[in-house]
Structure 1
Amino acid sequence: MKAVAVYPGKPHSIHLREIEPPQLDSIPGGRGVLVRSLEIGVDATDREINEALYGNAPTGFDYLVLGHESFGIVEAVGPNVKDLQPGDYVSCTVRRPGGSIYDQIGRNDITSEETYYERGINLRHGFLTERWVDDCEFMVKVPKQLKHLGVLSEPASVCAKAIEQAYLAQQRLQVWKPEVAYVMGSGQIGLLSTMMLRLKGLEVYTVARSRKAGNKKAEIAEAYGATYVSTAETPLDQLVKQTGKPQLIVEATGSSQLAFQAMEVLSHNGALVWTSITGGQGTATVPSDKINLEWVLGNKLLVGSVNGNRRHFELGIQALAHGELAFPGVTEKLLTTRVDGLENYAELIRRLVEDKEAIKVYLRVTSD
């Protein structure tokens, strides 16, 4: 069957290839689930893997099948699968267990091992293919009523985890009730985070570079009840004078320089969550003495959050459902850029790289 893959370490090596069809009995214990791909999302991670900034092939292969944002329909299940049946819509978690104690208790999303295993990213093939098989442990059911948003399951899990991590860590303060939040970046992670923070009742400022006029991302942010702020029109320090320092910042810019810049505007007792993954060798100059002083004296917290486990996927899907009720039809506007058919992989990566207006780029593999 067809799959879209790269040769890790070789820049711009994305290609279409034939691979062996997945076998249900390849999953031990009768726990396998065979899924036909419907829609597979791509993002900056896929772009950077194709640029050879990171990513590794599974042992015994010289290629890596791309795709970590999955959505499909179940075609068959093993005899010991109890909660899924053919016809169910599902997404699938990305990271697979290693050998640390965290992996052993089902928290492979926070493995303490240097080597990690992620489908479509590192040492495990991804979902950008016609069909795939995995253990039912990693499958998450998507309600039929949400199938139009199913391809957002993985990014929603990232946002749900990032926000949860901030609130969990801030239990150190005993009383923490943030009122003002900044979301840095207006891509899919930024906008979904905006939605989830608005559902929590926070006053949210979605901060990005693009000007507001005629900006679809700005329209979506404000449809969620947030305030869109263009740094080209209102610099970050000026925004802080208007709003006061935020108690919570979710950084989702994809820029390490902006990630560090966010450290300069956080309030006392505040939490900053970094979600960006930046491949490459970029450097930035920061006022390190000032940041050091203010963060120590201000009891500020920095949390790195990546990946999500099954529960985070479930939280993300719940948030998508809640968002549909609170802001009908808004989230679907993130689905800006669809490409049809695995054979059109070149167009998929072109739109991902070149289309600056795109929010969510995804491939429709088959129809249900």
Structure 2
Amino acid sequence: MGSVRAVSVTAGVPNSLRLEDDHPEPATEEGAILVEALAVGICGTDHEIIAGEFGIAQPGTDSLVMGHESLGRVLEDPTGTLQPGDLVAGIVRHPDPVPCTNCAVGEWDMCRNGQYTEHGIKMLPGFARDRWRVQPRFAVGLDPALTDVGMLLEPTSVVAKAWDHIERIGHRAEWKPQTVLVTGAGPVGLLAALLASQRGLVVHVLDRATSGPKPELVAALGATYHAVPVNQLDIEPDIVIEATGAPRVVLDVMCKAAPTGIVCLAGVSSGGRTMDFDAGALNRALVLENNVVFGSVNANRRHWDLAAQALARADRAWLGSLITRRVPVSGYAEAYTPTSDDIKVVLDFTA
């Protein structure tokens, strides 16, 4: 073996993305399970890292190997947790070393001191390399039928956590939700709609796109697609999952939820924008209608397992339709250059 190809950046340096042909083999300290990479998914966090706005280098170097939406096949596992040939993804976040009260019980997605580490994002090498290693407790086995779409597990885990927390909050009282509004039809929004449809709920998805694959993907779930402002919708959703991060949309969905409604903010705003808004009216509505607004990000092992189950139940063709471009590693620069028609772009290590 000797060396691997790896897509990396110099952390904090804009436009330093590169393909290394002689990156060292993954160190055994990274984990006992050796994995051959099949693909990595690309998302907005990757674009922020490439722009130098985000990302922390691996200790002892100024570099960071990219890739946190992983999919691979087990080459060897001396622990017996998985078998050679098994399909596997690696959990992105690792608990902080203190550990805080949440990390100590496996809830690293709720880390209280911010000292967690993350593959391809913060201090841990990512999965965009020919081979990588993972510890058994951070290795998630996947249904063999997910070979072409298993890199969707990471964004699905984020959505599975959002649904887990929505349901926990909902059971504060008698709760029989019927209608869900998802704002944003990117990967997170569409996967949120998928999990809503799997729950038998009436699903509405709002996005700006009026052409392209998004309306058809929503319709294929049996959901209703909207391309109008939130305040023009003639629905009063029991649950809202906000996946755009657009400040206007964030504020509008808080006002749109039904009494005792739950609004989950899953999109991250860039900040720096101000607007006139009646905060008093919002406060009055939230209090008098017993509404809840909360933020959700990342996922722990329980959510990754729930996500794997959700993908195994989903229509494979529908999942495959989320992937709008598959690019070989040799075309890495093209893969990491977003286009307006993208939903999910995948860097293919098998091509």
Alignment TM-score, normalising by the size of structure 1:
0.90
Shift in Å, 1:348? 0.9
2:127 is paired with a residue whose SS is coil
Q: Do the aligned residues in 1 keep the contact of 2:230 with 2:252 (CA within 8 Å)?
A: no
What is the rounded CA distance, in whole Å, between the counterparts of 2:50 and 2:199 in structure 1? Answer: 37
2:311 is paired with a residue whose SS is helix
2:334 matches 1:347? yes
Q: Do the aligned residues in 2 keep the contact of 1:35 with 1:131 (CA within 8 Å)?
A: yes
Which residue number in structure 2 is paired with residue 230 of structure 1?
Answer: 227
2:336 is paired with a residue whose SS is helix
Alignment size in residue pairs: 345
1:214-293 → structure 2 map (5 Å cutoff):
214-231=211-228, 235-239=229-233, 242-243=234-235, 245-279=236-270, 281-293=272-284
What is the rounded CA distance, in whole Å, between the counterparts of 2:342 and 2:14 in structure 1? Answer: 23
CA 1:74 to 1:197, structure 2 compared with 1: closer, same or farther past 3 Å? same
Q: Which amino acid aligns with 2:24?
A: E
CA 1:230 to 1:139, structure 2 compared with 1: closer, same or farther past 3 Å? same
Q: Do the aligned residues in 2 keep the contact of 1:53 with 1:279 (CA within 8 Å)?
A: no
Q: 2:26 aligns with which of 8, 22, 29?
A: 22
Q: Which amino acid aligns with 1:129?
A: R
Which residue number in structure 2 is paired with residue 32 of structure 1?
Answer: 32
Flag structure 2 segments of 5+ consecutive residues without an equivalent.
Answer: none
* Percent identical residues: 35
Higher-helix-fraction structure: 1
Deviates more, 1:278-287 or 1:88-97: 278-287
Shift in Å, 1:6? 1.6
1:281-360 → structure 2 map (5 Å cutoff):
281-324=272-315, 329-341=317-329, 343-350=330-337, 353=338, 355-360=339-344
Q: Do the aligned residues in 2 keep the contact of 1:270 with 1:299 (CA within 8 Å)?
A: yes
2:240 is paired with a residue whose SS is strand
What is the rounded CA distance, in whole Å, between the counterparts of 2:92 and 2:246 in structure 1? Answer: 23
Shift in Å, 1:53? 2.1
CA 1:134 to 1:279, structure 2 compared with 1: closer, same or farther past 3 Å? farther
CA 1:256 to 1:172, structure 2 compared with 1: closer, same or farther past 3 Å? same
Q: Do the aligned residues in 1 keep the contact of 2:230 with 2:249 (CA within 8 Å)?
A: no
1:43-192 → structure 2 map (5 Å cutoff):
43-78=43-78, 81-98=79-96, 99-173=99-173, 175-192=174-191
1:264 is paired with a residue whose SS is helix
What is the rounded CA distance, in whole Å, between the counterparts of 1:256 and 1:87 in structure 2? Answer: 45
Cα shift readout 1:127-151 (whole Å, capped 9, x = no counterpart): 1111111101000001112222211
Cα shift readout 1:298-334 (whole Å, capped 9, x = no counterpart): 211112111112221111121112222xxx6222211
2:182 is paired with a residue whose SS is strand
Q: Which runs of 4+ in 1 moved over 6 A?
A: none
Shift in Å, 1:280? 5.5
Shift in Å, 1:363? 0.5
